[in-house]
């Protein structure tokens, strides 16, 4: 496994663990104490979803930046639109506009992470 793929794996595992910890401990604390955190505790899963998934996929195989961008778009669409639509139509969970926005933000963060990791492992000035 290359150094770049190791970084993606570390980012993926760290993001997923952080999401699980925040969901398990932070969210119940906020709810139990009736604290207002601008809705952050409600969207933790959506904020880590695209980052965790894409970086995990990239840790297994080397992809071009164009394909990685496509992964980000597809994952963001799946989490923001398809997954939330299940709740909207009453098939699974509940629909929440904040989760749609959080999934889009997760896609943007994933793109930034990709740029930073690729920048450290490439001489190419154009990573889009």
Give the tens place of pLDDT for each residue, 30-68: 999 999 999 999 999 999 999 999 999 999 999 999 999
How sure is the predictor about 123, in pLDDT bands with cuts at 50, 70 and 90? low
pTM score, two decimals? Answer: 0.87
If DSSP codes are grouped into helix, strand and coil, which group holds residue 118? helix
pLDDT of residue 95: 76
Mean pLDDT score of the chain, rounded to an integer?
91
SS3 content of the chain, % helix, strand, coil (to 5): 75, 0, 25
pLDDT of residue 124: 55
Domain ranges of the chain: 3-120
């Amino acid at each position: 496994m290359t150094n770049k793929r190791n970084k993606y794996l570390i980012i993926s595992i760290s993001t997923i663990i952080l999401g699980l910890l925040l969901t398990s401990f932070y969210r119940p604390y906020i709810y139990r104490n009736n604290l207002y955190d601008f809705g952050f505790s409600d969207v933790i899963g959506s904020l880590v979803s695209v980052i965790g998934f894409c970086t995990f996929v990239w840790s297994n195989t080397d992809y071009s930046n164009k394909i990685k961008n496509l992964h980000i778009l597809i994952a963001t669409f799946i989490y923001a639109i398809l997954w939330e639509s299940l709740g909207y139509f009453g098939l699974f969970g509940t629909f929440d506009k904040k989760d749609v926005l959080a999934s889009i933000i997760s896609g943007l963060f994933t793109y930034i992470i990709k740029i930073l990791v690729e920048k450290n492992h490439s001489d190419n000035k154009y990573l889009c």
